[in-house]
A and B are shown apart, each in its own frame.
Chain A
């Protein structure tokens, strides 16, 4: 049953008093649990739980040709699937718009921030480069899949290591790992989605709260520097509201960073 109009009104009413159903502050995240190495055949993998929301991400690497317009760079691809096992709302079949948006938004945050040094993925310029695949799967949807997906992707990439590569045969020896980690910079492009409900802005909505969202903005940033942004859903924002959101970016990033620090050392 969809969150009824009644609950939607209640959520709005509570927000007027800056209260949420689970007693959280407007800018507070739920409890976050992270596990790394959850899938042994992946070059890197992670499971992220935010409250009851659960997402897994894995890194796989392959060797191939570079794109003609970036002969001195490796390739990078993010895919996302909203698995039907994670919610009665998701159907089996090829990814529909929400899954596509999720993968593209996370892709932009990771790619545009220069988190991954593409030049260091080159084996032989113009001929052979590494491709880094990041695949994200939802396991349980209780709202805020996007932020959970972004965290899982970052941690999977942070913990990933190169598989062995035989230069002579040009073959990747899957299952045999090196100690070499991905060429990542110090940037940590965490995506945080800010949701506007009425005239209040919250982070980390539960499923019920997300159903009531008027509009949302996902901002990928690192240490206060914004590298990607996507506004979604139907309503408009005033400039004051946008400024309010922008003021929240760095403190929210810092809070999340504290929570994931130990998994990315």
Chain B
């Protein structure tokens, strides 16, 4: 296997520096920021509150409504303001990544709004968004079984890597780049996984092991940020 050269001499299983802060938006019930390398995501949670329009109310269970927006100046080539198909899909992907740890039966007829906005993008925006959203939901006092943590795993040529950055997304050599964003609970259950590229089942199993270790590290930083929120 060829030795892979990453920017800043990153090892294959090395993530970019990451940090978090909770309570950054006073108006929201819960809010948080997650930074991973050059990607910065903000999340704010409003609710639980009455669900409008009324015809979308569910008497059995509440609704988690996610809204992802990519800032126009967060990327190199300006992203036209407005919701495109990618963002609409991400709304649902993020909702599914968060739902398994939330008991919707605890707030029937109500809605919890999760808003995620990307201020600066350098790949892994959905993962950063999910990390921020998980902290914001906890901060908002939403009953949750666990925190979820997300990491953009992948493969560059034949080497399995953690935390692919923007340049690596266009990896030119060999098998190119395979993107595998994964979200796991603190106890190791997978709540979200996507893939595009080329990989064998055997390697994919290894990627999942890498993701487990990485999400545990991310969880520690999320936990610390939540505990320090009321300083």
Residue numbers of A with Cβ under 8 A of B are 38-43, 45, 52, 54, 56, 58-60, 62, 79, 81, 83-88, 92-95, 133, 135, 137, 139-142, 174-175
Residues of A within 8 A of B71 (CB): 39, 56, 58, 135, 137
Residues of A within 8 A of B116 (CB): 85
Q: Convert B108-127 into 0s and 1s, putting 1 for each residue whose CB lies closer than 8 angstroms to a CB of A.
A: 00000101110111100000
Q: Check if B20 is an interface residue, CB within 8 A of chain A.
A: no
Asked if B78 and A62 make an inter-chain contact with CB atoms under 8 angstroms apart, the answer reads yes
Interface of A is mostly: mixed
16 contacts between A and B (CB under 8 A): A38-B120, A39-B40, A39-B71, A39-B120, A41-B122, A56-B119, A59-B73, A79-B81, A84-B44, A84-B115, A87-B27, A88-B46, A92-B115, A95-B81, A133-B72, A139-B25
Cα–Cα, bound, A172→B34 (Å): 30
Cα–Cα, bound, A88→B112 (Å): 11
Given A85-B25, A140-B25, 10 extra CB contacts under 8 A:
A39-B73, A39-B119, A40-B120, A41-B75, A54-B25, A60-B72, A79-B81, A85-B116, A92-B113, A174-B76
Asked if A60 and B42 make an inter-chain contact with CB atoms under 8 angstroms apart, the answer reads no
Residues of B within 8 A of A81 (CB): 69, 81
Name the interface size band of chain B. 20 to 34
Residues of A within 8 A of B76 (CB): 41, 174-175
Q: Check if B173 is an interface residue, CB within 8 A of chain A.
A: no
Interface residues of B in 1-51 (CB under 8 A from A): 25-28, 31, 38, 40, 42-44, 46, 49
Which residue from A45, A79, A83, A174 sits with its C-beta under 8 Å from B117? Answer: A83
Asked if A42 and B25 make an inter-chain contact with CB atoms under 8 angstroms apart, the answer reads no
Residues of B within 8 A of A42 (CB): 73-74
Cα–Cα, bound, A60→B77 (Å): 8
- Tell me how far the C-beta of A20 lies from the nearest C-beta in chain B, rounded to whole angstroms: 19
Q: Check if B174 is an interface residue, CB within 8 A of chain A.
A: no
Residues of A within 8 A of B122 (CB): 41
Cα–Cα, bound, A175→B115 (Å): 28
Which residue from B43, B73, B74, B81 sits with its C-beta under 8 Å from A85? Answer: B43
Asked if B113 and A84 make an inter-chain contact with CB atoms under 8 angstroms apart, the answer reads yes
Cα–Cα, bound, A81→B31 (Å): 19
Residues of A within 8 A of B38 (CB): 40
